[in-house]
Chains A and B, each alone.
Chain A
Amino acid sequence: MICSFIGSRRRRHRTRTSRPVGIMLAIGLLAPFQALPAQDRQSEDLAALSVIAKRFEQISPRPARISATQESGNGYWEKLDLNVAKYGVMRRFLPTERSVHPALIAYWIDRTERDDREWDMVSDSGQPKWPARWQFASRSAEVVSSVAALNPWSGPLKVASEALAEEAKKALHATYGVDSAEERKAMLRALDLKGKRQAVEAALGKFLAAAGDLDPERNAGWKPVYQFLLKDAEEQWNGFRKDRDEKKRVDSSLSMTYWGADRSAFKVTTAQVEKLIAIKWRLSSMEVKLLEDALAPGRMPMAFLEGAAREFIDTRIEFDRELVRALDLPEVKTNPVLVSGLIGLFDVWKTLQRREEFLKAGRWALSIGVLKEVALTVLKAESWTKTDFDPDTGERTDSVVVQRAGQTVDQLDKCKERWLNRRSPKGSLHAAVEVDEKGNRVWTPYNWTVWKWMTADELDDLTTDGRVVKGLGRRWLVAAGSRFESIRSMQDLRAADAREIFVGLTAAGARKGLRRDLK
């Protein structure tokens, strides 16, 4: 399974050259002699990298390690990526969903909160005519009312949606449009965003229950609503994508301007920097697709690594190699100004660490790194948005998504570290995931990035605590202090609020990947 992690080009190359060696290894003849050159090369590369890292450390100190949940950083770019990815995921999710999924309700509520006003027509003077109406709220109500069976629900839904949209606009104004902190607090305190949200949720629940089976092929009543939602998601996705691409493009062109300000005379390095910027742009272009795929409904991390992540990892390896080459150029070695230029453009420490990990442990380390980056994007984007409110002060607070995604990042780091240190990850990474009333794993738009991940040691601890129980042919994680010792029925499952435990990331693939990389 893991063999497909390896980039196709490299795989083809290795297939041609390494087959005889593989055969000889299999019969145990040439193993000591054939393994040596590859290991020597790896050692040489590592030694060279170590020299570069030491030289670089004199200019830029190695960053301290802290948990992702304690990391404070800008999440603006990640937010742009996640905005696009979320709608991309929704475009995939909607055609597959046949029942009322929390993500569907969350989507509807989120769109209502971010609704815009639209004007029916423009007056002669070119000024919009009042009163304006809420775009999503009124259009969705129109669609709902066009279906005879759903018509009675359109009115309440519209009223609740408009109230929520108004409240959300006020909250937005209070957050960004008011200078005085006291005034902002007072305004936010006066708002009832949560109540309005609950009202929409209630109206939506009734309407969706009335809609019946949410299969557009079989349910003619649902079809227009489904088509409307799909079109809306498509429009939102397109809008966010264009916005994000435009900003990234500007960022990329600014990079070269930054370099060219006073370093363009160094031609060799400049050529290398241009190459690096181009690779970085390629990586940036892949990021949203990568994120979409990682968060796609039902997508497991291993399947993600085998699919969309492959090309990305290849490109990343290329980027790291080229950046290390740039650091090793004679003119860069002797000129700190060029090094500082590279620091301004690229995250050099990350590259050095990744390169080291790659040389030590092969693609598997990078695969874990990609998973980590997906979780980190969710973490940073959500920290940037601060979607939760403190009900008392009205201040926005960190979302629990931030904590969960941060823990995922830390667990992946731990997993990678153990692999790097011992070349043998002790056990696999387990995940505990909520299940629905039918016992199916509940998918959220953050997918595996917000699962509760556990190492084998942690699972042992939980077992000691009596929180790991068996039943219905699976293992379950029950709440702390739960009195359930086993899950015998679906009723037990609901009462215990249990989460299913399963292996989310295996170690077997890692071993296989390393063997291939070292050949």
Chain B
Amino acid sequence: MRVLLALLCMSSIGVFSAAQAQDRAALAEREAMTLQKITRDPRHPHLLSLGDGAPFPQNRDQFDAAFAACRRALKAAPGSTAVRVNLGALYLWRDALHPDESGNFEKAVDQLLIVLAKDPANEAALAYLRSHEVLTRIRPHLGEKGTASVRSALQRALKDSPRAPNLRAFAWTLFFDGKLAEARAAAKTLVERAPEPSSHLLLAAVELKAGDSEKALAGFQTVLKATQDPLEMATASLGSAQAFNALADTDAADRLLGEAARLLPPPALEHAAQVARLITPAELGWSIGKAYAAAGNAGKASGYLGAEGMKWLSAEAAFARNQEAVSLFRANKMVESLNAFFASAQLDPRPVVWGNAAFTAFQMGRYQECVLASRRGRALEPLGPGGDSRLAIAYAVLGDYKTASATFERAAQDAPGDKALNEWTVALTYAIGGWDEAVATWSRLGNARRPRWDQWYEVFIQVRGALGYIAELAERRGARYQSLRHESILYRALGEGLKRRFLKPDGLELIRRERQETLNKIIDNYRRLPLKPALPSEVQELLLKARPLVESAFKGHDSFRKTLALYEEVVERAPWFPEGHYMLALMASQDPGPYTDGESHPDSRRELNAYLALVPEGPEAARALKVLEAAPRPLPFFGPDIENDK
């Protein structure tokens, strides 16, 4: 009987799985012989080498013969517990050979419970009932009620026979039922009565499942000291590794998992883990790998996780970083949030994360990063109208009007109903090409035909709104070069409003003031720039045309007006160009007129003020001041306070 029980225990914790892997043919032969023995004598106590939880298919005939013999014997002598145990065991594995039958498991358990009722100390029945194959199937096959009836049968048997095998079976059943407190109490009693390694192993496994890793670790260490059995040692090492991992000692967990893997081949070790309800070696390895990855030990981590695992982990980490970034964003910690979004996108470049990064960068005024994130996201999937608009505005703020316009135009094709996208396109066309192109674009984008003044008004409003917005964004960000550029275009656009006469008088006054304020901002920006910008090529061309004309400007009215117009154009296009204002002031001081009512005319005093405001220490500053003092003061001045500024 002792041999039988040893075999039973080994079978239930997986030794045979390992053995079978080595020599399945020999095992099958041994199994066939056992079945033949049972056929000859159904009371034969040596059935239990049916490894892998099932007999070999080639032994089906022998299995059926043994089964029939047991049934016959039981009919003849229903009180024979030895036959009944064999029949119960055969029922356990019958599903494997007779897949067209059902209810075999229930019949198996019934047989074993009948045996226990008659012989509460029947070790074979107890060993079967606490085997992994039985414990894992009770609940799904028999339900809550069946589980309770097995438990109470074992409890009754324990009452009648308060011995260690009964206590062991009862404790294992409680453990598998998830009744950890009762299982712990039973396992403790078992350790007191039978302080064997297997008892300590059970208690440690219960402690680990109950979440007390330190007690579990102590228990597993006791087992490791007390046993030489490779299976128990491997199970205890695995349990210790899991406990160490829970206690955040990754190196120790790593070492003990290695120990366990050295003691048993992988299938046997996995089975041992399942039997003791530990997490499997693969799951534990994964967990250890993750811990190493979190600690930055990529070498160790990839050893456990592999390339795919690392990729998965990256995705998981990316998800966590994205969540963290969202929380930071909500807490208004923008810099940290943006960094976290970028880190997330680096770990797992998903469009949604790039989109988050682009949005955050835009909110922070970091347009370069917004463009970068948006483009990365767009490479993976279309951004949609919102994302496209954001990218285009970022381009515009950075001064790349052409790409911005193209982006808006493409976005408008994807979302034809979105009027705002067309308005932006019109505004940026003005920045690139000027008034006539903007009006042509306005018409091309499918706007209904309207009177010219209406068209102009629409175009003007769109240009003023868009450029004002991007100038403000650039200014808010402190990007003075870009700001200067946007404000210069806005200044020119506001001039269109004054020049083209589609505004009412009060509107005109408003725009005039706005224009002056824009000029003030331009002056302010210009003065703060450490390196003054170079003149745009079109302004240089204008100057090249104007300079030769200056000499002959006063020879005739036409040439004067032509030269004046050229300088006016220079100032319109580069209102931050001090010399332009100075030359215009000189020309204007000599301007004989006449001007019709409402027509704008150059004001030498205003231009001189602008010149002095732009370059208070400029080469012509002294002369300009003299002219200014001599000149009358017909116009109000809205520029910066030069006196204070000095």
Contacts and interface: CB of A to CB of B under 8 A. Distances in A.
Contacts of A392: 178, 209, 277
Contact of B149 (A65, A67, A479): A479
B316 interface: yes
A69 B114 contact: no
B432 interface: no
Given A400-B140, A480-B111, A480-B114, A410 B149 contact: no
A217 interface: no
Q: Give the most central of B100, B111, B146, B316: most A CB within 10 Å.
A: B100
A390 B99 contact: no
Contacts of A482: 117
Contacts of B644: none
A483 B284 CA distance: 46
A433 to B, nearest CB: 14
Nearest to B109: A480
A193 to B, nearest CB: 13
Given A400-B146, A480-B114, A497-B149, A66 B140 contact: no
A335 interface: no
A284 interface: no
Interface in B142-161: 142-144, 146, 149, 153
A158 B473 CA distance: 54
A125 interface: no
Contact of B140 (A391, A397, A465): A397
Interface residues on A, range: 20 to 34
A467 B117 CA distance: 12
Given A392-B277, A400-B146, A67 B99 contact: yes
Interface in A360-411: 388, 390-392, 397-400, 402-403, 406-407, 409-410
B101 A67 contact: yes
Nearest to B146: A400
B141 A403 contact: yes
A466 B110 contact: no
Contact of A481 (B78, B113, B139, B146): B113
Given A398-B140, A480-B111, A483-B117, A406 B102 contact: yes
A482 B142 CA distance: 17
A194 B99 CA distance: 34
B450 interface: no
A468 B382 CA distance: 72
A515 to B, nearest CB: 30
B116 interface: yes
B646 interface: no
B114 A465 contact: yes
A464 B79 CA distance: 10
A464 B143 contact: no
B2 interface: no
Nearest to B209: A392
A481 B140 contact: no
Contacts of A480: 109-111, 113-114, 117, 149, 153
Contacts of B71: 461
A398 B142 CA distance: 11
B102 A68 contact: yes
Interface string B174-201: 0001100000000000000000000000
Contacts of B209: 392
B158 to A, nearest CB: 14
A259 B416 CA distance: 40
Contacts of A127: none
B78 A464 contact: yes
Contacts of B316: 180
A391 B277 CA distance: 13
Interface string B101-134: 1110010011101111110000000000000000
Given A464-B78, A481-B114, A400 B143 contact: yes
A461 B70 CA distance: 12
Interface string B574-599: 00000000000000000000000000
Nearest to B75: A464
Contact of A403 (B110, B111, B117, B140): B140
A334 interface: no
B78 A465 contact: yes
A410 B117 contact: no
B87 to A, nearest CB: 10
A70 interface: yes
Q: Give the most central of B71, B103, B116: most A CB within 10 Å.
A: B103
A67 B98 CA distance: 8
Nearest to A391: B178
B95 interface: yes
Contact of B99 (A66, A464, A465): A66
B74 interface: yes
B102 A403 contact: yes
B52 to A, nearest CB: 17
A391 B174 CA distance: 12
A464 B77 CA distance: 9
A152 B98 CA distance: 57
Contacts of A407: 102-103
B250 to A, nearest CB: 17
B310 to A, nearest CB: 16
Nearest to B140: A398
Interface in B76-108: 78, 95, 98-103, 106
Contact of A465 (B109, B110, B139): B110
A407 B146 CA distance: 16
Contacts of A479: 113, 149, 153
A160 to B, nearest CB: 20
Contacts of B144: 400
A466 B178 contact: no
A67 B97 CA distance: 11
A391 B117 CA distance: 29
Given A391-B178, A480-B110, A410 B140 contact: no
B149 A390 contact: no
A180 B149 CA distance: 36
Interface string A199-232: 0000000000000000000000000000000000
A10 to B, nearest CB: 33
Interface in A450-465: 461, 464-465
Contacts of B109: 480
Nearest to B103: A407
Contacts of B110: 465, 467, 480
Contacts of B177: 391
A414 to B, nearest CB: 9
Interface string B42-84: 0000000000000000000000000000010011001000000
A461 B91 CA distance: 13
B435 to A, nearest CB: 42
A482 B143 CA distance: 19
A388 B139 CA distance: 9
B103 A410 contact: yes
Contacts of B99: 65-67, 70
B95 A397 contact: no
A482 B110 CA distance: 10
A388 B143 CA distance: 9
A400 B114 contact: no
Interface in A75-126: none
A480 B116 CA distance: 10
Given A66-B99, A392-B178, 10 more contacts: A70-B99, A391-B177, A403-B102, A403-B141, A410-B100, A464-B74, A464-B75, A480-B109, A481-B116, A497-B149
Interface of A: 65-70, 180, 388, 390-392, 397-400, 402-403, 406-407, 409-410, 461, 464-467, 479-483, 497
23 contacts: A65-B100, A68-B102, A70-B99, A388-B140, A390-B139, A391-B177, A391-B178, A400-B139, A402-B140, A403-B102, A406-B102, A407-B102, A410-B102, A464-B75, A465-B111, A467-B114, A480-B149, A481-B114, A481-B117, A481-B118, A481-B153, A482-B117, A497-B149
10 nearest A-B residue pairs (beta carbon): A400-B143, A481-B117, A480-B110, A391-B178, A480-B113, A481-B113, A69-B102, A410-B102, A67-B102, A66-B99
